[in-house]
Structure 1
Amino acid sequence: MLKTLYIVRHCQAVGQEPNAPLTSEGHFQAIALADLLFSFGIERVISSPFMRAYQSIAPLAERLGISIEIDNRLTERVLCPTPLDDWRERLAESFTNLDLYLDGGESSRSAMARGIAVIDEVLQQKTSITAIVTHGNLMAMILKHFDDRIGYAEWEKLSNPDVYRVQFLNDATHVERMTFF
Structure 2
Amino acid sequence: MAQRLFFVRHCETTGQAPTAPLTSAGHQQALELADHFAPQGVDLLVSSPYTRARQSLEPLAERLGLAVETDERLAECTLASPPVADFRGAIRQLFDGPDLAWPGGESRRQVTERGRSALDAVFRHPTRTPVVMAHGLLMAFVLGSFDSRFDYRAWTALTNPDVYCLERDADGVRVSRAWGA
Shared topology, TM-score over 0.5?
Answer: yes
Runs of 4+ in structure 1 off by over 3 angstroms are none
Q: Are 2:124 and 1:117 aligned?
A: no
Q: What is the aligned partner in structure 2 of residue 147 from structure 1? A: 147
What is the CA–CA distance in structure 2 between the aligned matches of 1:142 and 1:34, rounded to whole Å?
24
Q: CA deviation at 1:83?
A: 2.8
Q: CA deviation at 1:68?
A: 0.4
Give per-residue Cα distances to partners, 1:27-52, cap 9 Å, x unaligned: 00000011111122111010011110
Aligned with 1:101: secondary structure? coil
Alpha-carbon contact 1:2-1:128 (below 8 Å) kept: no
Alpha carbon RMSD of aligned pairs, Å? 1.3
Give per-residue Cα distances to partners, 1:80-139, cap 9 Å, x unaligned: 122323221221121121111111000010000000001111122211321100111001
* Residue correspondence of structure 1 range 1-181 to structure 2 within 5 A: 1-180=1-180
What is the CA–CA distance in structure 2 between the aligned matches of 1:13 and 1:57, rounded to whole Å?
13
Alpha-carbon contact 2:5-2:123 (below 8 Å) kept: no
Alpha-carbon contact 1:8-1:164 (below 8 Å) kept: yes
With normalisation by structure 2, the TM-score equals 0.95
Mean CA deviation greater in 80-89 or 143-152: 80-89
What is the CA–CA distance in structure 1 between the aligned matches of 2:38 and 2:145, rounded to whole Å?
27
User: In the comparison of the two structures, how many residue pairs are matched?
Assistant: 181
Alpha-carbon contact 1:95-1:151 (below 8 Å) kept: yes
Mean CA deviation greater in 37-46 or 105-114: 37-46
What is the CA–CA distance in structure 2 between the aligned matches of 1:136 and 1:172, rounded to whole Å?
22
Mean CA deviation greater in 145-154 or 107-116: 145-154
Mean CA deviation greater in 65-74 or 82-91: 82-91
Aligned with 1:174: secondary structure? strand
What is the CA–CA distance in structure 2 between the aligned matches of 1:168 and 1:10, rounded to whole Å?
23
What is the CA–CA distance in structure 2 between the aligned matches of 1:26 and 1:114, rounded to whole Å?
26
For structure 1, which runs of at least 5 residues remain unmatched after alignment?
A: none
What is the CA–CA distance in structure 1 between the aligned matches of 2:87 and 2:13, rounded to whole Å?
20
